[in-house]
């Protein structure tokens, strides 16, 4: 037996104002997109904004459904649209902001497991890391330089 230690790196910012202006702008796009969430069941709204190497910004928000599993998270709404609309472009950064209609979300909200798997597919596809910035409605922002920090030991096409 050999132990295997897996480490992930994150940066924690006390407030969004600590981030570079370009990322603050991207987070503003995520917040705007969050308002378009259709979340009548969870009352939990998430917005995601990603910027491509052609400077285009693609946004998404969670879209729920009366048949609960048919809904989709904000991150996947955004990244699948980016893949569909700009298949040859590289995704550089993604910003995510979450807000509950029931209570204040003051802590960073990381993407769910299914979104991490969806996101890492594009990192593998484009052979370049995607930086992720995530926050609640206010408070600290966390950054990972790669989706792999959020999802170590990825399952990808190398296994197929
Ligand atoms: N949600 C997202 O949009 N992104 C995540 O990473 C976590 C969860 C959405 C799905 C659902 O509409 C609501 O938040 C509550 O889970």
Which positions make up the binding site?
62-68, 73, 112, 115
Which tens digit of pLDDT belongs to each residue from 41-61? 999 999 999 999 999 999 999
Catalytic positions, written as ranges: 75
Mean pLDDT, range 103-108, rounded to an integer: 96
Mean pLDDT, range 27-45, rounded to an integer: 98
Domain chopping of the chain, boundaries: 10-151
Band (10; pLDDT cuts 50, 70, 90): very high
Mean pLDDT, range 71-93, rounded to an integer: 98
Ligand 1 atom 13 nearest Cα = 44
Instruction: Assign domain 10-151 to its CATH architecture.
Output: 3-Layer(aba) Sandwich (3.40)
Query: How does 76-97 read in b/e, with b if 16+ C-beta sit within 10 Å?
Result: bbbbeebbeeeeebbbbbbbbb
Note the pLDDT of residue 42.
98
Band (33; pLDDT cuts 50, 70, 90): very high
pTM, two decimals, is 0.97
């Amino acid at each position: 037996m050999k132990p295997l230690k897996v480490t992930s790196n994150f940066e924690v910012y006390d407030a969004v104002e600590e981030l570079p202006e370009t990322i603050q702008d991207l987070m503003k796009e995520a917040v705007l997109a969050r308002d378009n969430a259709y979340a009548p069941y969870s009352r939990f709204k998430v917005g995601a904004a990603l910027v491509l190497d052609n400077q285009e910004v693609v946004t998404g928000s969670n879209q729920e459904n009366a048949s609960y599993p048919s809904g989709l998270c904000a991150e996947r709404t955004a990244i699948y649209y980016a893949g569909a609309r700009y298949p040859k472009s590289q995704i550089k950064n993604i910003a995510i902001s979450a807000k509950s209609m029931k209570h204040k979300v003051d802590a960073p909200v990381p993407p769910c497991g299914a979104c991490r798997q969806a996101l890492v597919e594009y990192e593998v596809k484009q052979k370049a890391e995607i930086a992720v910035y995530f926050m609640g409605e206010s408070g600290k922002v966390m950054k990972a330089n790669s989706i792999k920090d959020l999802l170590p030991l990825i399952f990808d096409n190398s296994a197929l």
